[in-house]
Amino acid sequence: MSDSPILERAQRFLSVLRHCQVLGMSVHSAKPDGLILRLPYSPQIVGNPETGVIHGGAITTLMDTTCGISTVCVLPEFEICPTLDLRIDYMHPAEPHKDVFGFAECYRVTPNVIFTRGYAYQDDPSQPIAHVVGAFMRMGKSAQSGKGVTASIQGGGQ
Nearer to another protein, 25 or 74 (CB): 25
Give the one residue of 38, 93, 107, 151 binding another protein; rule: CB under 8 A.
93
Q: Are 88 and 131 in contact (CB under 8 A)?
A: yes
CB of 3 to another protein, least distance (A): 25
Asked if 150 interacts with another protein (CB under 8 A), we say: yes
Q: Is 89 exposed, middle or buried (0-12, 13-18, 19+ CB in 10 A)?
A: exposed
In which region does residue 31 sit, left (phi positive, over 0), alpha (psi from -120 to 50) or beta (all else)? beta
Nearer to another protein, 43 or 140 (CB): 43
CA 13 to chain centroid: 10
CA distance 83 to 133: 11
Asked if 87 interacts with another protein (CB under 8 A), we say: yes
Nearer to another protein, 109 or 135 (CB): 135
CA distance 36 to 30: 6
Give the one residue of 4, 44, 112, 127 binding another protein; rule: CB under 8 A.
44
CA distance 59 to 135: 17
Asked if 35 interacts with another protein (CB under 8 A), we say: no
Q: What is the DSSP letter of 92?
A: S
Asked if 1 interacts with another protein (CB under 8 A), we say: no
Give the one residue of 32, 43, 125, 140 binding another protein; rule: CB under 8 A.
43
Q: Which residues bind to another protein, rule: CB under 8 A?
A: 16-20, 22, 43-50, 54-58, 60-65, 68, 80, 82-90, 93, 144-146, 149-150
